[in-house]
Each structure stands twice: as C-alpha cells, then as structure tokens.
C-alpha cells in the first residue's frame, strides 16, 4: 500500500527528498508558503561537497546536470588584512570538483524539474495522532491528512512544534547582506578584488565577505558581534563611538542615497537617515542610513574593501540563530524534520549539504518501507543517524563561527589554513 507522504518546504532539503522519492516511483506532495519559485531572492551561491550535497544529487539522478551548471572556479578563496594586504590567495586546480559552487536559484530549478509543488500553501499547524493520520492545518483554513509529514521548512519551522519545543536562539553575530550587479562592467576593480570565488577580510569582532555568483553578481556580507537589537540599542552605538564616525560618512551616505537631508537625517518623506547616531533607532529599511552605519563600523579598513559596501544596493538584516547543538526529540510517529528545521547551525557551508543528503537518505528509507510499521521504524532509524551526524557538524560550525568573528582575527586565518592548507 502506498503511504501518503507530504513535505513542507521547497528548499534544498524538501526538494531533494521529493526528487529521490519520485525517482523510486513514490508519489509525494510538496507544500511551499511562497507563491512561486521566483517570489523572493534565492540567496547566495552554495558550495556542494563531494561527500554530502553531490552525493544527494547523484541519488536523485542529477549529478551530471549539476556539473554542467556548477562553477568549480568558484572554490577560490582570497583573504585580506584590513589594510588590503593579501594574506592568502588559494585557487583550485582545473580538475578540482570537491566543492564547486552553484547559485541557489539554479539549484532550486534543477531540483524542481517535474515536481508538482503546491505554491502559496502556508502551514499553521501540524497535528499528529489523528484517526486519519497526521493533520496539516493551513493558514487559509484548509486541512489535509497524510501518513508521513516531513518538515523541511527552515529555521522557524511550523512542523517542529509537533515533535520538539526547541526554538532557535541568537548567536551574538549579525549579518547585513548587500549585493553588486554587473560587477565586471560597472566595478571592474572590485571584480578583480573578489576574483572567481570568495573574498574575506577579518577584523576585531567583525568581518566582510564577498562571494561571486554567476552573471556578474556579487553578494557581500558584513558580519559583526552585536546585540540582537543593535540597530535600536543606543547605548551600543555610543560605546562604539559611532557618532563621530557617522558624521564622517554622512556626506557619502547623502551622495549615494539622495533621500537623506543635508544633516544626514531623513528628508521630508519620512526616512530615518542616520538614525541611532542622532539619538534615534537606525531604520533598517533605509539603505543610505544602513550603508553609512556599516561604513562607520568598518571605518579605517582599506578603501577598496569599503567600496564593497559603498556600491551595495539594498541591505538585508540577517541575525544568525541556531538550534541547540545536540537537538533531538522523542520520536513522533508520522512526523520528522530535515535540514534547518532539525539542526539549524551557522552558515559555514555545511547546512544545505547536510539537508540535501538527509533528504535523499530519508526518501530511500521511505521508498523501501513495506507498510505503516516498517515506515515508522525506517523514519526512527533515520532520525538516529541524522542526529549523530548533525550534532558533530553543529559543534564544528559553532566553533568555526567563534573563530571567524572573534576579538583575534588571527584565529580566522588559522582556521582557513587548517581547512584549506596552502
């Protein structure tokens, strides 16, 4: 008898699960809250590891298509000192396929393929143990039941509460993301600075990372240790002496964002301008204000490095949250989790890879199950394997974040040398 299977979330974990299950001839229903695949930016590139993400794609029958789309040259990594000195400049061999890069959007489209995703279906609750199976309640009032519901719906999962009371907690590190378009034509100097892969600059409790995507697009991430409410915490800004630094960057912010008035405040249309530096909260929706604040935070760094912020367009606030390192739960028949929903960890190149491999492994276990009891035992065994592996990686990435954004920038350089010796 075919089991009724649903996966919540059309990210790498959920789509890999669905593709592998479909390859084994088993129907699966994918629910996604976004109204369509292009509803929001897909995010930066991913490096898919040979033993994790690439293995998952192989099980989905998509490895060769991935190799056509991927960018092995994107594995390159350059590290600068804050004064612009090149500390490391690692480039992969032409035949190095250990961790090639692929844009998230390209990976999503590759995995989507023939899958029938029910877009615009936001889950409000998952209730196991009903007479007809696991009940999914949707925000629009509709309900459906399944024999197995797989939560692959990310950090703030609506499926997780069905098995675990755990919620993500803030790491103390915040990212602010911006981007540069058509960089090779519009900013050739920055294109040469970033190179074919990624660029990183590490300072005291802060870092700037730039990552080349396809099509001349570069993602830039300002990383720093701060309270979660740093943009409204006036005491934190005062402690950093932002007032003076922001005064120095006011004219720059005004020239790059004409909405700013002559004093750096918002103009008559209501924009907050430099916000906290003037005794008010920083408006994260005001690109000029955020740009000026970041330039103040990284004041004194090499001018070409700061140009990555000066020429950035919109700025997106991304505080980093994680789940407990050894997050587990008492097995609940009919419900399980994958990826960030199960083991949210710092974004150091492992999370999506783990999520995809988990999706492939769970799909194969489900496809091999011969009945309800066998299905439940297969899911239980999968969870045990996932917890052990994810727990190890959560410890590694947590320790890695502590070294990459720390009071001693030398710790970040040492970590690179351990992972990628020259």
Tens of pLDDT, residues 364-402: 999 999 888 999 999 999 999 999 999 999 999 999 999
- Its pTM stands at 0.90
CB 148 within 8 A of CB 29: no
Q: Which of 73-82, 187-196, 260-269, 347-356 has the lowest mean pLDDT?
A: 260-269
**Does an H or E element contain 345, and which?**
none
Same topology for domains 5-72+96-168+323-405 and 170-321, yes or no?
yes
CB 150 within 8 A of CB 45: no
Rounded distance between C-alpha atoms, residue 112 and residue 119, angstroms = 12
Q: Which of 70-79, 111-120, 251-260, 380-389 has the lowest mean pLDDT?
A: 251-260
Feature table: binding site = 40, 47, 104, 340
**Phi, psi for residue 377 in degrees, rounded to 5:** -65, -35
From 306, 304, 302, 260, select the one nearest 283 (Cα to Cα): 260
Cα–Cα distances in Å, from 337 out to 28, 231, 351, 361? 16, 33, 14, 13
Share of the chain above pLDDT 90, in %: 83
CB 101 within 8 A of CB 94: no
- Can you give the residue ranges of every domain in the chain? 5-72+96-168+323-405, 170-321
From 7, 42, 4, select the one nearest 115 (Cα to Cα): 7
Feature table: binding site for FAD = 47, 104, 340
* Per-residue tokens: 258: 């004409």
CB 6 within 8 A of CB 29: yes
Ordered alpha helix ranges (H), 62-165: 63-69, 104-112
Let me know if 292 is exposed, middle or buried by CB neighbors in 10 A (0-12, 13-18, 19+): buried
What number is the average pLDDT over the span 77-85?
97
3-class DSSP state of 353:
helix
Fold assignment, 170-321? FAD/NAD(P)-binding domain (3.50.50)
Tens of pLDDT, residues 297-314: 999 999 999 999 999 989
CATH of 5-72+96-168+323-405, one of 2.60.120.10, 3.30.980.10, 3.50.50.60, 3.30.365.10: 3.50.50.60
CB 11 within 8 A of CB 339: yes
Residue 341 CA, chain-centre distance (Å), reads 13
Rounded distance between C-alpha atoms, residue 24 and residue 22, angstroms = 5
Feature table: binding site for NADPH = 40
Tens of pLDDT, residues 40-66: 877 889 999 999 999 999 999 999 999
- Can you tell me which residue has the tokens 């005062």? 238
Sheet of 316-322, strands arranged across: 86-90, 77-80, 198-203, 206-212, 218-225, 169-180, 316-322
């Amino acid at each position: 008898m075919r089991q009724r299977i649903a996966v919540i979330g059309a990210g790498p974990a959920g789509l890999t699960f669905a593709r592998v299950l479909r390859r084994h001839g088993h129907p699966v229903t994918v629910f996604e809250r976004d109204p369509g695949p292009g509803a929001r930016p897909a995010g930066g590139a991913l490096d898919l590891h040979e033993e994790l993400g690439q293995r998952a794609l192989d099980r989905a029958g998509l490895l060769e298509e991935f190799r056509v789309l991927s960018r092995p040259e994107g594995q390159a990594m350059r590290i600068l000192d804050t004064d612009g000195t090149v500390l490391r400049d690692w480039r992969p061999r032409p035949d190095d396929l250990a961790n090639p890069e692929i844009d998230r959007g390209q990976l999503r489209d590759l995995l989507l393929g023939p899958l029938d995703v029910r877009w615009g279906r936001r889950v409000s609750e998952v209730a196991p143990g009903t007479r007809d199976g696991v009940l999914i309640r949707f925000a629009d009032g509709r309900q459906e039941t399944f024999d197995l519901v797989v939560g692959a719906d990310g950090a703030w999962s609506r499926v997780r509460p069905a098995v675990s009371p755990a919620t993500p907690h803030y790491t103390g590190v915040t990212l602010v993301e911006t981007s540069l378009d058509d960089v090779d034509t519009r900013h050739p100097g920055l294109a040469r600075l970033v190179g074919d892969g990624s660029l990183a600059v590490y300072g005291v409790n802060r870092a700037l990372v730039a990552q080349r995507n396809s099509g001349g697009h570069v993602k830039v991430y300002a990383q720093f240790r701060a309270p979660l409410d740093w943009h409204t915490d006036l005491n934190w800004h005062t402690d950093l002496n932002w007032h003076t630094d922001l005064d120095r960057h006011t004219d720059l912010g005004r020239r790059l964002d004409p909405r700013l008035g002559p004093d750096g405040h918002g103009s008559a249309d209501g924009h907050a301008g430099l916000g906290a530096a003037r005794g008010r909260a920083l408006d994260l929706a005001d690109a000029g204000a955020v740009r000026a604040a970041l330039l103040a935070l990284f004041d004194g760094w090499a001018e070409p490095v700061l140009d990555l912020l000066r020429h950035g367009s919109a700025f997106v606030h991304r505080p980093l949250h994680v789940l407990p390192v050894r997050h587990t739960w008492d097995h609940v028949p009919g419900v399980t989790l994958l990826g960030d929903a199960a083991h949210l960890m710092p974004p150091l190149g492992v999370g999506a890879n783990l999520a995809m491999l988990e999706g492939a492994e769970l799909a194969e276990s489900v496809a091999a199950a011969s009945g309800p009891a066998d299905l439940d035992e297969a899911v239980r065994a999968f969870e045990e394997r996932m917890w052990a592996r994810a727990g190890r990686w959560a410890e590694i990435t947590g320790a890695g974040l502590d070294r990459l954004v720390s009071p001693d920038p030398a710790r970040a350089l040492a970590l690179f040398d351990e992972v990628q010796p020259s």
